[in-house]
Amino acid sequence: MDFSHLLEMQCMLMSLMIVGYIIDRIGMIDVNGRKMLTDIVVGVTLPCNIVNSFDIELDMAVVMSGIQIIIIAIVILSGSMLFGKFLYRGYHDSKKKVLEYSTVFSNAGILGNPVAEGAFGSMGLLYASLYLIPVRILLWSFGLTYFTDETSTKGLLKKALTHPCIIAVFIGLVLMFTPLTLTGFVQRTVGSIAAANTALSMFLVGAILGSVKWREMVDKDTVYYCFVRLFLIPGIVLVCLWIAGVDKVVGGTAVLMSAMPAAVVTAALALKYGRDADFAAKIVVLSTILSVVTAPAWGFLFTVL
């Protein structure tokens, strides 16, 4: 595992967040600007990032391992949902929804591919991309129910199916499982927009933090969340996969993905749908800082067991 690459990636994200914080503090962006940036991330750069990540060729030699890691991802998602239902019962709804969402959906969508590639090479990148298939589908369908006030199944289904990111998932699946592929200026355009997603997402988190008091970053709620996201979930995943005798690269990739910090998009969605955006930004930042140490440690531990 290339720990220097993992550290470099995490430091890059933190640097981008600091830039966003500075932009907000010097007055270059206001409340309306943050809302506009949220719409750009959720409606433009993230969908292109999704489409771009699905545009890969499947090697039939690793299809069985690919199916295995997809099943693992589904089990981890299901278990995380159950944890969320029981671990945050005493919280106010606005904060509870943020906690539940960020327990199920981590920053694997942004950090996952580069981290897995840095740790396990090209095979890690392939398995990470496959791991993210059920994550992305669930993220922009069921995941939206954590933030919207829609109660009817029909209404939720309509919102999910018409959301830019779930449309991007469908397009990505077509690209993955058919001979179709992005070419020419279309590929360059989508790739260029996708490349801006990480920077804009972290700018948004930093801008939201412009109104957050740093001395309030660490409290019992943020620490509790970080324990669940960075220690409890990957610890259970590691033990289960070790007992099951899963391949080192497949299992190591799954453990790494389960050990990712809170999803950056949590803060964007919380701001967009009127949840506790300040708290969302705090758990994103604190869990990202801590994951610089915890994520590679979990992946390394699995490979040496």
Q: Which two tokens stand for residue 92?
A: 């106010």
pLDDT tens-place values along the chain, 305 residues long: 656 666 677 688 888 889 998 998 899 988 888 888 888 988 899 889 888 877 766 666 667 888 999 999 999 999 999 998 899 988 888 899 899 999 999 988 777 777 787 778 778 877 888 898 888 888 877 787 788 765 566 766 676 677 788 788 889 888 888 888 888 999 999 999 988 988 888 888 788 777 677 777 899 999 999 999 999 999 999 999 999 999 888 999 999 999 999 987 888 888 888 888 889 989 988 998 888 788 878 877 887 77
CA angle at 262 for the pair 260 and 266, rounded to the nearest 5°: 145
- 277/250 Cα distance (integer angstroms): 35
Residues 6+ apart with CB under 8 A from 230: 259, 261, 287, 290, 291, 294, 295
> Can you tell me whether residue 28 is helix, strand or coil?
coil
Global confidence as pTM = 0.79
What is the greatest pairwise CA distance in the chain?
Answer: 54
List the one residue out of 198, 204, 197, 196 whose CA is nearest residue 21: 204
Q: Does domain 3-304 correspond to CATH entry 2.40.50.140? A: no
Domain ranges of the chain: 3-304
> Can you tell me whether residue 106 is helix, strand or coil?
strand
Residues 6+ apart with CB under 8 A from 232: 83
